[in-house]
Amino acid sequence: MNQPQKAAVPPAIRPGRAITGMSAILLPFLADGSIDWAAFEAHVVRTSSAGLLPAVNMDTGYVQLLDSATVAQVLDRTATLTGGRFVAGAYVADSPGDHHDQSALLRAALAIRDHGGTPVVFPSHGLGALSEPDWATAHATVGSEVGNFIGFELGEMFVPYGRIVGLDTYRALMEIPECIGAKHSSLSRQLEWDRLRLRDELRPDFMVLTGNDLAI
């Protein structure tokens, strides 16, 4: 006889904790195809004034469309407006079958750090193709070479090179001192709860940043 399945139980609530909020800033364009920098800067200022961290060069489906000069200009303008209080996607533009380019990832992350921001290690084809131990090692190298950063789990339902790692690998990510948190976008409450429990057990200061729009 089949045993009834137990309902999933969320982790314990931590009353009174401070919440860190981040909001992706898309890059607006004018009708003639030029970038609307005034609208972009106004949005960065509004977001920062609301107590949220602007997240630039970041949003899934859009960062891939920006050339390197535009990425750099976004960092310049955001750093000036926020005094370095922002996060940004450290993205490597690659193709299916490409090997992971650690040097390119480090360059992208260092550019963000040098503007005062915190890099978010954005998924890529090469990074997603690594074994889970090598995936964790690639992130550890970012920490040792760049300093503080944020990880990013992104499900394949969003991009073909997305990846949700196993809990042992997530533990390895949390054990990197410079990794201060990780965005999690799986559309699964259970997977997020598993990570919250691990955070409470291993590293209470670690930020599990929800990107689960359907699970809030």
Residue type, 146: V
The structural domains of the chain, with segments of one domain joined by +, span: 57-215
57-215 fold: TIM Barrel (3.20.20)
pTM of the model: 0.92
Distance, CA of 184 to CA of 84 (rounded, Å): 23
Per-residue pLDDT of the chain (216 residues; tens, 9 = 90+): 555 555 567 787 778 878 899 999 999 999 999 999 999 999 999 999 999 999 999 876 678 889 999 999 999 999 999 999 999 999 999 999 999 999 999 999 999 999 999 999 999 999 999 999 999 999 999 999 999 999 999 999 888 999 999 999 999 999 999 999 999 999 999 999 999 999 999 999 999 999 887 655
B/e letters for 60-83, b = 16+ CB within 10 Å, e = fewer, are: beebeebeeeebebbbebbbebbe
